Amino acid sequence: MKLRSLVVVVGMALASVLVPMRAHAQTGLYINPIAMPITNSVADHGLYAFLGQYSTEATFWGVNFGGYHDFKTAYPFKVGLDIRDSILHGNSAKLNNFLFGVRLAGKPFSAPWKPYVEPVLGVGTSRAPYTVIHVNKFEYGVYGGLDYETKHHIDFRAIEIGYSKLITASSETIGGSDVIPTSTLYTVSTGFVIRFP
d(CA 180, CA 39): 12
Average pLDDT, the chain: 87
State how far the alpha carbon of 135 is from the alpha carbons of 37, 50, 126, 195, in Å: 19, 11, 5, 34
d(CA 95, CA 134): 9
State how far the alpha carbon of 162 is from the alpha carbons of 24, 131, 145, 189, in Å: 28, 28, 9, 9
3-state secondary structure 81-133: EEEEEEEEEECCEEEEEEEEEEEEEECCCCCCEEEEEEEEEEEEEEECCCCCC
Does 44 have pLDDT greater than 80? yes
Reported residue count of the chain is 197
Instruction: Report residue 3: phi and psi, to 5°.
Output: -65, -35
Give me the pLDDT at residue 152, please. 82
Give me the pLDDT at residue 193, please. 96
Share of the chain above pLDDT 90, in %: 67
pTM of the entire predicted model: 0.83
DSSP 72: P
Is residue 82 a contact partner of residue 64, using CB atoms and an 8 Å limit? Answer: no
Give me the pLDDT at residue 20, please. 42
Domain positions in the chain: 2-196
Q: Model confidence over 83-104: pLDDT tens digits?
A: 999 999 998 999 999 999 999 9
Domain 2-196 has CATH 2.40.160.20: yes
Question: Which helix (H) or strand (E) covers residue 179, if one does?
Answer: none
Q: Model confidence over 114-167: pLDDT tens digits?
A: 999 999 999 999 999 989 999 999 999 999 999 998 888 899 999 999 999 999
